[in-house]
Structure 1
Amino acid sequence: MDTQTKTSNLKDFEVNIKIKLAFLWTAVTLCYLYGDYFELYVPEKTTGLLNGDNLLNSPMKLLSASILLAIPAVMVFLSIFLKPKFNRFLNILIGIFFTAIMVLIAFTSLTPWKSFYVFLALLESVITSLIVFYAWKWPKDL
């Protein structure tokens, strides 16, 4: 038996839609974290953080950003534990919302020092689009 025959017989398992969605939301969350971390290397960013000259320069803006960025992390949990009908609806709704936000961020961040941010925003848009696609195609009972 040759090597090609052995590898073509590898068993693959169907992954439950809830697990797929949870992992996709995990990937989005990690991209957000990496983007925010890498942004610290942009010149003058840390100076703005120290002197308060930044986008999140008030308690309400910081709270709003925290709530917005907590949603994908919470969707990891909700994608596993919600009932299918509401789960599907929520993944489609929030997936579309975050896809739109990330496309907007990508197009408003087109500077050389933010090219990493554009890349991550576009990647997040692809991932959230996949979330919408998988939720839309949620398997039905026969």
Structure 2
Amino acid sequence: MTRSSTTAGALQEAQLPVQAKLAAAWASFMFLYIYVDYLHLYKPGSIDEIVSGVVHEFDTGPTFVALALTLMAVPILMIVLSAALAARVNRATNLVVAALYIPVSMYNVAGEESWSYSYFYGLSIGLEVLLLAFVLRAAWMWPRTTRATAARDLAQARA
């Protein structure tokens, strides 16, 4: 038995729901976001600044810690929300949050004085923005159902 060369090695594409793609993108974003913060600790003088109570010229008091937690909590919650919210709300939430986090990602390097780490920060911001662009595209391109399909699904749900 012989197979044609066009079908012999063909792999079937797995169709993931948009919610799963969005949740995976937010999880990837969070891993990157947290590792950038962690790897920043390897920069000489970084831990000394933290011990002295200053990070990028901000006092590390309760306000700073609460804001830092909020900046981390939003993408963390987006993992769950992307998997759990209804399609219309899910799409809107992902579009708004991803659009807001692009300037947040870029601002994170604004206080950086050492350009010797510019490759590190450029790469990290580039990857974060790339993931956020993926979220924006996936949410924007969310497949729509036709009115006939939606009416049928609604009728089945009522029955």
Q: Same fold (TM over 0.5)?
A: yes
**Alpha-carbon deviation of 1:103?**
2.9
For 2:156, the equivalent position in structure 1 comes to none
Q: Which amino acid aligns with 1:73?
A: I
Distance change (3 Å), C-alpha of 1:106 and 1:50? closer
SS at the partner of 2:13?
coil
For 2:79, the equivalent position in structure 1 comes to 76
For 2:23, the equivalent position in structure 1 comes to 22
Measured in 2, the distance between the counterparts of 1:108 and 1:34 equals 18
**Alpha-carbon deviation of 1:125?**
0.6
Correspondences of 1:1-142 after superposition (within 5 Å): 1=3, 5-7=7-9, 9-54=10-55, 55=58, 57-106=60-109, 109=112, 111-142=115-146
Gaps of 5+ in 2: 147-159
- Give % identity: 24
**Alpha-carbon deviation of 1:53?**
2.6
Distance change (3 Å), C-alpha of 1:23 and 1:67? same
**Alpha-carbon deviation of 1:56?**
5.1
The RMSD of aligned alpha carbons is 2.0
**Alpha-carbon deviation of 1:38?**
0.5
Greater CA drift, 83-92 or 10-19: 10-19
**Alpha-carbon deviation of 1:100?**
2.0
**Higher helix proportion:** 1
TM-score normalized by structure 2? 0.80
Write out per-residue CA displacement over residues 44-84 of structure 1, whole angstroms, 9 at most, x where no aligned residue.
Answer: 00111112132351111111110111111110000000000
TM-score normalized by structure 1? 0.89
Measured in 2, the distance between the counterparts of 1:47 and 1:97 equals 31
Measured in 1, the distance between the counterparts of 2:109 and 2:122 equals 4
Measured in 2, the distance between the counterparts of 1:93 and 1:15 equals 22
Measured in 2, the distance between the counterparts of 1:56 and 1:82 equals 37
Gaps of 5+ in 1: none
